[in-house]
Amino acid sequence: MLHLHFGAESYTPDHVLAAVRAAQQAGKPVVYTVHDLENPQLTDQSAHVRMLDAIIPAVDVLVTLTPSARDEIAERWGREAVVIAHPTLLETGAAATGRPRHGRRIGVHLRDLRPNIDAVGVVTTLVRAVAELRAAGGDVVGIVRLNESVRDEDTARILEHLAGDGVEIVRAARLSDDDLAAALADLDACVLPYAHGTHSGWLELCYDLAVPVIGPRGGHFRDQHPSDYTRYDIGDPLSLAAAIEHATLPAWSAPGSTARAAEVAARALDRAVQRIEVRAAHTDLYRELTTHRSAA
């Protein structure tokens, strides 16, 4: 059994296709989980499309994370994909629930400025959205984080000059998993800075921590957790201001509140069950494929 996920962008489509064919000729079925219909590590998507055009028709079974991505795969390639949701990113145990503060904290993490992150566009939009909300009497602050080590130092220098009244730029070493969870838990909402993409592990972590997500209209992000997702448009501060107002209305969204703690606990129970279901779905898929291959 060969199961492909992502990270093949350093290889040519012919190279990956040859690996798929070799596995199949050796009697091993090949599964491909389509995480990315748009590759977040690339700006120009033409090479990634060629990769998808090579792999998707060739493998034995396709898996993806959301029904809407399944529908796009069917429309573009005429193949059915099995939907298996992304499991929790937290280990079992107590999760961070944030610290209570006055006002609302809206965060965006730019990480190492990978190609699908529109850092300047998102931060500019956030600065203007926060200014709009504060001018209307809202107690709102923006927290922008990025790693010390980034792929685009020129953009990082530009960001240093974009902070405005109520928006702080924090550049520091890459956070550990526990520190990242704690930083996210302190937020009333998290803004995704993606110019393009398909699915988001970051969104899954926010869901585990009961932190509402404000994200772009593209991709299939919203289909991961629709009830926690509010859309905005990069470059449109009024859409982001409205999204912030909408996303922070639920009582459970306040960091450090008893409602947030209860929501995190409830989701942990649901996600523990889901993890078992995800494992079972993969086990059943592998068993069916190997049985079918052996019979053939």
In a domain, 88, yes or no: no
Same structural domain for residues 46 and 143? no
Instruction: Give the CA-trace dihedral at 270, 90, 110, 138, to 10 degrees.
Output: 50
> Quick one: 146 and 241 in the same domain?
yes
Domain membership of residue 230 (yes or no) is yes
pTM: 0.94
Tell me if 120 is assigned to some domain.
yes
Kindly state the average pLDDT of the residues 263-290.
95
Together in a domain, 152 and 254: yes
Residues 108 and 253 in one domain: yes
Q: How far is CA 129 from CA 101, 165, 194, 248, in A?
A: 20, 11, 17, 14
- pLDDT(90) > 80: yes
Q: Is residue 16 part of a domain?
A: yes
Same domain? For 65 and 108 the reply is no
Residues 128 and 240 in one domain: yes
pLDDT in tens, 33-43: 999 999 999 99
pLDDT tens for each residue of 203-220: 999 999 999 999 999 999
Same domain for 172 and 121: yes
End-of-domain residue from the set 28, 53, 83: 83
Q: Say yes or no: 70 and 109 in one domain.
A: no
Q: Of 50, 78, 84, 80, which Cα lies nearest the Cα of 64?
A: 84
Q: Are residues 39 and 168 located together in one domain of the fold?
A: no
For position 295, what pLDDT does the model report?
Answer: 56
Q: Assess if residue 185 is contained within a domain.
A: yes
Distances (CA, A) of 12 to 15, 55, 58, 94, 218: 5, 11, 15, 43, 27
CB 214 within 8 A of CB 244: yes
Quick check: helix, strand or coil at residue 13? helix
Question: Could you tell me the residue range of the domain that residue 113 belongs to?
Answer: 104-260
DSSP three-state, residue 205: helix
Last residue of one domain, picked from the residues 83, 118, 139: 83
Task: Say yes or no: 66 and 135 in one domain.
Answer: no
Report if residue 268 sits inside a domain. Answer: no
**What is the pLDDT averaged over residues 108-132?**
98
Instruction: Specify the number of domains making up the chain.
Output: 2
Q: What is the pLDDT of residues 39-55, one digit of tens each?
A: 999 999 999 999 999 99
Residue 255, SS3 per DSSP: coil
Q: Is residue 12 part of a domain?
A: yes
Tell me the pLDDT tens digit for each residue of 11-35. 999 999 999 999 999 999 999 999 9
pLDDT tier at 164 (50, 70, 90 boundaries)?
A: confident
Starting from the edge strand earliest in sequence, which strands make up the sheet with 104-109, in order? 167-172, 140-147, 104-109, 189-191, 213-215, 229-231
The answer on 130 and 79 residing in a single domain is no
Q: DSSP per residue over 168-182, as a string? A: EEEEESPPPHHHHHH
